[in-house]
Amino acid sequence: MSLGYAQKLSYREDVGVVGLTELFDPPAVLQRKIEELALIIKKSKHLVAFTGAGISTACGIPDFRGPKGVWTLQREGKGVPEASLPFHRAMPSLTHMALVELERTGILKFVISQNIDSLHLRSGIPREKLAELHGNSFSELCPSCGAEYLRDFEVETIGMKLTPRRCSDVKCGARLRDTVLDWGDALPVKEMNPAEQHCKMADVVLCLGTSLQITPACNLPLKSLNGGGKIVIVNLQPTPKDKKASLVIHGQVDKVIAGVMHFLNVQIPPYVRIDFVHINLKHAPRKKTYVKWILKVASLHGSRAPLPFVKSVEVSFPERPDMKTAFLAKQPFVLKRETARKRPFTMALKFNFIDGCRCSFTTVFWGVNFQVNKCRLN
């Protein structure tokens, strides 16, 4: 969960039980339960995962009800806890990626999440197999035509308010809204209906890292019981639904899921993040011999959307010492120049990334020839 999200929420005195002591099954008991869960998953015909904040703590995102959770510390008057990294830089956990592989192999049929951190989508879970009950901090929705826009930056508002951007459909153009619920907001029918349907069909609902306290979401797993399904709960704290579960495992979610995948002999894929930028070059002849051109490097999501990983862009011309190197430090990155029409050149665009990225920069080469009106990107 986003700390920004926690701070934007309307104040509510009663947020339920918080700060319960974390429980850890003894090693031998934990291993036995992991193997039992693996067999349950192996025999399942319609497995549904129901996830909460506990699967994202390994990503550097604090939970809500744990000993150092957002609401636990707020109740103690300590304010919002610090995240270990900016929210948009959080990467999917081992559990997120294990769910991706279980879905890919056909074992996992659907994911229901109370999280708004976008990590399920970022990991690779197909949108049509995911219900985000409380919204997504990185998503915007067009209230007119229903188009969804997944961003690589955290949307400014919560509570389904209007955002600064508009629908890109030329026939629509309506102002977009954020998708994150505030206290008292009704769960979206578009997310609830498939979630309820899959829980009714499920022979196993696997609850991972959730306190199962927030209604009505917490009652969804119970719908599997009417059809003879099972509930399995993996959480460090006791939940109100433990008595309804066939198996309760008190252990770290990543450790449990890693053990299950090992027992099933299914490899967990690594996470590879892909980010896109839009490089645009516009030009117009000023005279027969000169061309005025504008280079713009911006987000695919529009000129008002940030590029969260790019700190600056250096534009150089390695084959043209007569052309001055430009250092662009402000987003959107824009360079305006005028050059001879008959002299083609190659631009080297060096993208300098923010601190914490695995590589500090990457370079893209772009061949430009205004005389034949062609550009070549390498």
Q: Which positions are catalytic?
A: 134
Sign (positive/negative) of CA torsion 141, 144, 145, 146?
A: positive
| 61 Rama sector, left if φ>0, alpha if ψ -120 to 50, beta otherwise | beta
Q: How many Å apart are CA 333 and CA 296, to the nearest integer? A: 6
Pairing of strands 310-316, 290-299: unpaired
Query: Cα dihedral angle (72, 78, 82, 88), rounded to 10 degrees?
Result: 70
Query: Cα dihedral angle (184, 220, 3, 183), rounded to 10 degrees?
Result: 0
One-letter amino acid at 344 equals P
User: Cα–Cα distances in Å, from 320 out to 35, 292, 350?
Assistant: 65, 17, 16
One-letter amino acid at 314 equals E
Determine which helix (DSSP H) or strand (DSSP E) holds 37, and give its type and residue range.
helix 27-43
